[in-house]
Amino acid sequence: MLGDERYLWLLGHPDTTLYFSVVLVSMAATLAGFFAFTHRRPHLRLFDAIPALRASNASLRFGAMVFSAACAVASIVMSATGYFGYFTATAYLYSPPVWLDTARTVIGIGGGTLFVLFVAAGVAHRRFTASEWSVAALWSLAGLASGMKSLVMLPFFYILLATWLTGRFRLRQVAVFGASIMVAYAVVEPLRGLRLSVSKDNALEGLTVLVSEDLLTVPEVTNVLSLFLDRIDYTVIGVEALEADRHGQLEVYRSRLSEAYRYLPALAFIPRAVWPNKPLADYGRELSITLDGMETSSISPTGVVASYLWLGFPGVVVNAILLSYLLVFSGRLLTTSLHDPLAYLPVMLLVNLIWTPESIVVSRYVGILRAVVEVGLFYLIAGQLGLLRKVGRGVQSYRPLRPKPGSTRPQPRVSDLYPG
């Protein structure tokens, strides 16, 4: 079996029981939250009257495609200059430029726009065009340039998700996603090994060396499957984190988590230009230093274990309930926008952000707080500029009018109320 040694180690570990207890409590709280919020319906009436963008779908599609492609190119440039990705230069790990957060946010919006483009194609019941596939491939190349396997696969996962949402799910999309996994592990793994051996900080230079020196080989499917399952299974990292915490080795990590929750609004809305000593969002680096001794890496114990390290079991329950509310909230937004995704592009981007997991839950809260305010400001400004359609009142359901006693006035017919 794949990973037998790992699981034998887990079976004999004293913190494995605690890990599964934390996971089970989180699952129970999440299910309870889903049941409560879906049956009581969260108060989201404000979002029922979101106006659509006035521009035509053709114009919106063209603009979204150009913007997404430009953001992919910007991501490649930032990776090549050491500002982004696995190969981020050490100088920017602890002292990033004041503009870096904004640049990363804009690039993230461009990546989310790719998801909306494929959803819109599915809603229109048309085949994906060569332009859409080209933008997806460009984003996958940006993932290679960043040295991050998840970003190589993300565009094709968006395609899977979009086809599932629109009822156009096919096995060929699964095959394409599987191919992206093979490419990610065939290229990024030796690329990271090259960085450790020759201390290269530029992923594009590393890719050039791999190709020119013929260092790329096609990995075996079983090996890739094993590595992929290990990548999405955080059990070992979670147990190691709990063990390190039991021995008092995660004091810095715990203090940073507590600081993040304590200053959550400030972290979301105060820019680094105003707050030069603003704490960095990469909490996984602190954990990597403790567990692996690697300063330039970043690992995650999962949001569940991070919630436990923050506040114990109460922290697990609180975050599970809040996340279940956010997912129900995003589902409501999706159902009101799915019929015309491009016309509701800001809302769809917000939905995509809520669905995107983070290494710890507080990072997701920071991103969502920013996004909600940004979407609100967008609609406020766009409304003032006349870029939105007017929201009309819905047609009320027909109820027969009962005449007053003694009245000779005839009762209106259905054809009178709804002509034609």
Q: Is the per-residue pLDDT at 418 higher than 50?
A: no
Average of per-residue pLDDT across 134-157: 91
Q: What is the pLDDT of residue 209?
A: 75
Pull the structure tokens for residue 118: 């494929």
CA dist 146 and 3 (Å) reads 28
Q: What is the pLDDT of residue 412?
A: 44
Which of 177, 204, 181, 179 lies closest to 80, judged by CA? 204
Which of the four pLDDT bands, split at 50, 70 and 90, describes residue 271? confident
Which of the four pLDDT bands, split at 50, 70 and 90, describes residue 106? very high
Q: What is the pLDDT of residue 417?
A: 37
Q: What is the pLDDT of residue 398?
A: 37
**Per-residue pLDDT tens for 279-305?**
777 777 778 777 777 766 677 888 899
CA dist 330 and 327 (Å) reads 5
pTM of this structure: 0.82
Contact of 138 with 72, CB cutoff 8 Å? yes
Which of the four pLDDT bands, split at 50, 70 and 90, describes residue 414? very low
CA-CA-CA-CA torsion sign (317, 319, 325, 328): negative
Summary mean pLDDT of the chain: 82
Q: What is the pLDDT of residue 43?
A: 54
The pair phi, psi for residue 357, each rounded to 5°, is: -75, 155
Q: What is the pLDDT of residue 68?
A: 96
Contact of 357 with 303, CB cutoff 8 Å? yes
CA dist 283 and 299 (Å) reads 8
The number of CA neighbours under 13 Å toward the Cβ of 5 is 1
Average of per-residue pLDDT across 338-361: 89
Higher pLDDT, 94 or 356: 356
Higher pLDDT, 152 or 420: 152
Contact of 353 with 327, CB cutoff 8 Å? no
Q: What is the pLDDT of residue 107?
A: 94
Average of per-residue pLDDT across 262-268: 89
CA dist 84 and 41 (Å) reads 40
Indicate the residue type of 301: P
Q: Cα dist. 48→45, 52, 98, 374 in Å?
A: 5, 11, 37, 18
Q: What is the DSSP letter of 46?
A: G
Q: Is the per-residue pLDDT at 58 higher than 90?
A: yes
The pair phi, psi for residue 48, each rounded to 5°, is: -70, -20
Phi-psi region of 248 (alpha: psi -120 to 50; beta: other; left: phi over 0): left
Q: What is the pLDDT of residue 420?
A: 36
**Per-residue pLDDT tens for 309-345?**
999 999 999 999 999 999 988 988 898 889 899 999 9
**Per-residue pLDDT tens for 209-232?**
777 776 677 777 777 777 777 777
Q: What is the DSSP letter of 52?
A: P
Contact of 328 with 34, CB cutoff 8 Å? yes
Q: What is the pLDDT of residue 332?
A: 86
Q: What is the pLDDT of residue 199?
A: 53
Which of 156, 303, 192, 314 lies closest to 238, judged by CA? 303
The number of CA neighbours under 13 Å toward the Cβ of 111 is 26
Average of per-residue pLDDT across 183-203: 72
Domain boundaries, the chain: 6-41+234-392, 56-232
Q: What is the pLDDT of residue 404?
A: 53
Q: Is the per-residue pLDDT at 201 higher than 60?
A: yes
